[in-house]
């Protein structure tokens, strides 16, 4: 039994060590120097919004407070039933009444395309309504336009407020790692994706690949769009959002959280590059093995028990490192990472079973299966 335990613990440590390969180059949006000239680029901010009056009441003031003002702010009111249009207009945005959803389109791509068609800026900054900009964010983002060969995207830092939102930790981290942008290979990795919550793309790049028309029937349009952009010769660049863009996800309760993550994670797994999928799977396997190793404690020698405790501590440290870069997750979420891991697995496989059985996923009153 001791030989089995020691072999298992050694393998667990090796997998934990290898897990750092998929998170070796986490990076934020570069900060511009104080006093540097403002970016000489016209930015059109495009916000698709369906029943987003509450979120827009936070996002739009954060845009108005920027030292570097955008060329225009466009809010596409996607058939909302609340005061979305009123809040947008009161905060100085140009409101476009969204047209009825055509056959063959999903809601978000259709709203984004309508906004892009109306935009007159040189660069388009697509923002989800549940995001907010930090101080001087637009100066830093606008400075990215110097790299005209690249499309830039930011994964917003998750602003967590309620206890149930802690269960998003693994989803947020896997969303980060699944872009294949933060591995040891860095920008030289193949198949780098784009975050859809905050995407900064030039008008030339957007028109070259056909815009959102090319991804009109995609739940995670950002993944597919990144493939078209790469094929057209453009680079995809990804950044962590802390200090630049933040978001509040699923404030509507536990059911809202489950439905939200169910909506995209199965599709996202299909688009994730194989190398990233292997790395993520290995990392999760290491955490699972650390959890299982706790069951060895009653049978382990004193030395093995100490090693088990150390390994679990390493898992906690690695989880905390990632959780804190993805959002405002508590230390206890890392300390009790097996709970979040089980929840992630349960939601993922629930969504997978529903997809295989032909079940539907509803989001904001629409079928997004």
In our burial notation (b when 16+ CB lie closer than 10 A, e otherwise), range 66-99 reads bebebebbbbbbbbbeebbbebbeebebbbbebe
Q: pLDDT digits over 50-88, tens only?
A: 999 999 999 999 999 999 999 999 999 998 999 999 999
> Average pLDDT for residues 281-303, to the nearest whole number?
88
Q: What is the pLDDT of residues 225-278, one digit of tens each?
A: 999 999 999 999 999 999 999 999 888 899 889 888 887 666 666 667 788 888
Q: What pLDDT band is residue 360 in, cutting at 50, 70 and 90?
A: low
CA–CA gap between residue 198 and residue 260 (Å, rounded):
17
Among 36-40, 192-196, 280-284, 330-334, which stretch is predicted with the lowest mean pLDDT?
36-40
The alpha carbon dihedral of 156, 162, 163, 167 has a sign of: negative
Give residues with Cβ within 8 angstroms of 188, minimum separation 6: none
Question: Residue 48: pLDDT above 60?
Answer: yes
Q: Are 158 and 48 in contact (CB under 8 A)?
A: no
Portion of the chain with pLDDT greater than 70, in percent: 92
How many other β-carbons are positioned within 10 Å of the β-carbon of residue 157? Answer: 24
Cα 222 to Cα 9, 52, 122, 185, 355, distances in angstroms: 39, 21, 20, 21, 21
Asked if residue 49 has pLDDT above 90, the reply is yes
CA distance 266 to 360: 13
17-47 pLDDT, tens digit each: 888 888 989 999 999 887 777 888 999 999 9
Confidence of residue 12 (pLDDT cuts 50, 70, 90): confident
Residue-level pLDDT at 100: 92
Choose the most confident range, by mean pLDDT, from 18-22, 159-163, 362-366: 159-163
């Amino acid at each position: 039994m001791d030989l089995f335990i020691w072999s298992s613990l050694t393998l667990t440590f090796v997998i934990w060590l290898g897990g750092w390969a998929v998170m070796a180059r986490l990076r934020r949006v570069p900060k511009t120097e104080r006093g540097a000239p403002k970016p000489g680029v016209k930015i059109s901010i495009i916000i698709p919004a369906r029943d987003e009056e509450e979120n827009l009441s936070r996002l739009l003031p954060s845009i108005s407070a920027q030292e570097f003002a955008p060329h225009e702010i466009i809010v596409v009111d996607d058939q909302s039933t609340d005061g979305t249009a009123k809040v947008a207009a009161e905060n100085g945005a140009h409101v476009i009444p969204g047209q009825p959803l055509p056959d063959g389109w999903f809601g978000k791509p259709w709203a984004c395309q309508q906004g892009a068609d109306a935009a007159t800026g040189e660069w388009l900054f697509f923002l989800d309504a549940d995001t907010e900009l930090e101080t001087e964010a637009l100066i830093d983002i606008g400075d990215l336009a110097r790299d005209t060969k690249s499309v830039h995207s930011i994964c917003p830092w998750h602003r967590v407020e309620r206890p149930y939102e802690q269960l998003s930790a693994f989803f947020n981290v896997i969303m980060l790692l699944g872009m294949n942008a933060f591995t040891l290979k860095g920008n030289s990795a193949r198949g780098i994706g784009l975050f859809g919550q905050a995407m900064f793309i030039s008008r030339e790049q957007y028109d070259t690949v056909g815009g959102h028309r090319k991804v009109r029937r995609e739940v995670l349009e950002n993944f597919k769009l990144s493939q078209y952009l790469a094929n057209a010769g453009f680079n995809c660049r990804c950044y962590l959002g802390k200090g630049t863009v933040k978001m509040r996800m699923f404030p509507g309760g536990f059911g809202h959280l489950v439905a939200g993550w169910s909506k995209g994670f199965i599709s996202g797994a299909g688009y994730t590059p194989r190398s990233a999928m292997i790395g993520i799977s290995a990392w999760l396997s290491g955490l699972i093995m650390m959890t299982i190793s706790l069951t060895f404690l009653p049978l382990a020698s004193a030395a093995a028990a100490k090693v088990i405790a150390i390994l679990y501590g390493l898992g906690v440290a690695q989880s905390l490192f990632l959780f804190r870069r993805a959002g405002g997750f508590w230390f206890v979420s890392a300390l009790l990472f097996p709970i979040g891991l089980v929840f992630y697995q349960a939601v993922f496989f629930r969504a997978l079973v529903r997809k295989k059985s032909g079940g539907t996923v509803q989001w904001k009153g629409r079928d997004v299966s």
